[in-house]
């Protein structure tokens, strides 16, 4: 995809690997912004809200547990 594919579409570029999970390395964080790490996500009510809360919850889990496994990917719902 291209950045222009998202413009005016109503969809956000949703990170599959969240940028906030890679703050320990500037290079790793920058790599999360490649379009190959993006999937279209509804912005208001999902990507900016529910999904954001889920990402924050996962980060909290990493403070409680040594190992936290996250599986992510796009889901096509016709």
Catalytic site residues? 15
- Please tell me the distance from the alpha carbon of residue 65 to that of residue 57, in angstroms, as a whole number: 12
Helix (H) or strand (E) holding 30: helix 26-31
Query: DSSP character for 7?
Result: T
Q: Is the dihedral of CA 34, 36, 42, 48 positive or negative?
A: negative
Task: Tell me whether residue 21 is annotated as binding.
Answer: no
List residues forming the annotated binding site for Mg(2+).
47
Residue numbers in the known binding site are 47
């Amino acid at each position: 995809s291209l950045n222009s594919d998202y413009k005016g579409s109503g969809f956000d570029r949703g990170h599959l690997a969240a940028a906030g999970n890679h703050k320990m390395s500037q290079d790793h964080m920058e790599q999360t912004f490649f379009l190959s790490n993006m999937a279209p996500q509804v912005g208001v009510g999902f990507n900016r809200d529910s999904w954001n809360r889920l990402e924050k919850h996962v980060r909290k889990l990493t403070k409680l547990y040594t190992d936290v496994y996250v599986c992510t990917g796009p889901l096509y719902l016709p």
